[in-house]
Structure 1
Amino acid sequence: MGNILAMDWHQVDLRGSTITLAEVKGGKPHMVQIAPALRAEMARTKPKDRKGPVFNTTNHKRRWSAAVKAAGLVDFKFHDLRHTFASWARQNGADLIDICEALRHHNVSVTQRYAHVKPTDTTTAFDRVAALLSSQSRKKKA
């Protein structure tokens, strides 16, 4: 959550579809691929406005609580998004090594506590979750 809320536009490379996080677990920089749907959404911000923080963190806790309530979730914490990502990626065939790298875990045994489904092919975890979210978004719009 800290990395997301503190993200600044200078960390975002829309042309290269990456976000570089300087401070992550282990103190090493981490580059994250931007899914096409997220890239398109971020590109809606005018270039002249791509300065400073990416997200407005004013009243973050209140807005988070409202979003959780609107989604019909109970006792859902921000960190649960990591578990959700790992589970969805695994359910859609990502292997544990890929998920381990995506979550910056030091070893796969930690990742195993997050995801429990057999993989089916070699598409990356980011690709799988992005595809899942895109298909759900299309279904809601239809």
Structure 2
Amino acid sequence: MQPHFGGRRIRDLKRYEIRSYINRRLEQGVKLSTVRRELRLFCAAINFAKAEFGLEDMPNPVARLGLSKEEPRVRWLTRQEAATLIKEAEFNAPRPHLPAFIRLALNTGCRRGELLNLEWSRVNFEQKHILLEARHNKSRKRRTIPLNDDALSVLKRMEQWQEEKGVRSPWVFGWERGRITTFKTAWTSALKRAGITDFRIHDLRHTFASWMVMQGISLYVVKELLGHASITQTEIYAHLAPSQAEEAVQRLLPF
């Protein structure tokens, strides 16, 4: 909040000055989410000062400003773009890890950490699923991820590669030096060669969800696959669902 409010007394701050600060930060190109985080810290600091110095009767000018929510980011690839990205990830790659990661993410919707920390002991080839215990995922709930044929093929290829290279690793994304923890350089290079911009690794998860919804899969099913705690989180993909309104009214029986 420095230098905007430096040297000011808390009691003298006005709400219009807080709004002026918000506008200035946004004009500087700062994201609304960042400004909102700054305001939360400022609001908490003022509340602490009120309690510490007996200023409970003093209004907090930052409280309940009612900032509009920032539109959630939903960036996804077309199937052609995804195929191109995988092809470029395979180009001159000394190891199969990045293209394998991309294909698994697109076929399971798993988070980056969920895949990079995946152990072979949690891959069930017979029942065609991988197991995520509570400690393995953000939602802190056990989750079973079904595997389609493409995902199974990727995992078997990784298993074969490790056997061929004599890599004895408990991790699917294991290699000679332990475990892959990042794809930063290879990922950036693959995106550049593929001509794909404004795309992050987490957007592979958005792509999985978007493809599901566009195929008419229920949001509730997608919610379970993604491991969302609330359907509200999954509703950011609702606009991609094919319209079922016309089909619904056609099902009404005539009088």
Stretch of structure 1 that moved more, 40-49 or 101-110: 40-49
Paired AA for residue 54 in structure 1: V
CA distance in 2 between counterparts of 1:12 and 1:58 reads 19
| Cα distance between partner residues in 2 of 1:85 and 1:59 | 20
Q: Which runs of 5+ in 1 are unaligned?
A: 122-142
- What's the counterpart of residue 104 of structure 1? 227
Runs (4+) off by over 6 Å: none
Q: What TM-score results when the alignment is normalised by the length of structure 1?
A: 0.73
Matched residues, percent identical? 34
In the alignment, which residue of structure 2 is the partner of 1:35? Answer: 148
Please show how residues 26-65 of structure 1 align to structure 2 within 5 Å.
26-44=139-157, 45-46=159-160, 49=163, 51-56=169-174, 57=180, 60-65=183-188
Secondary structure at the counterpart of residue 76 of structure 1: coil
Pick the structure with greater CA Rg: 2
The CA distance in 2 between the partners of 1:41 and 1:120, in whole Å, is: 34
In 2: Cα distance, 1:73 partner to 1:48 partner: 30
Once the 2 structures are TM-superposed, how far is the Cα of residue 102 of structure 1 from its aligned partner?
A: 0.9
Output the aligned Cα RMSD: 2.5
Q: Residues 59 and 27 from structure 1, CA distance in 2 versus in 1: closer, same or farther, beyond 3 angstroms? A: closer
Deviation at residue 69 of structure 1 after TM alignment: 2.0
1:41 to partner: Cα distance: 2.8
Give the TM-score of the pair, scaled to structure 2.
0.43
Matching residue of 1:81: 204
Structure 2: segments with no counterpart, 5+ residues = 1-111, 175-179, 245-255
**What letter corresponds to residue 151 of structure 2 in structure 1?**
L
Residues in 1 aligned to 2:153 and 2:192: alpha-carbon distance in whole angstroms: 27
* Aligned length in residues: 121
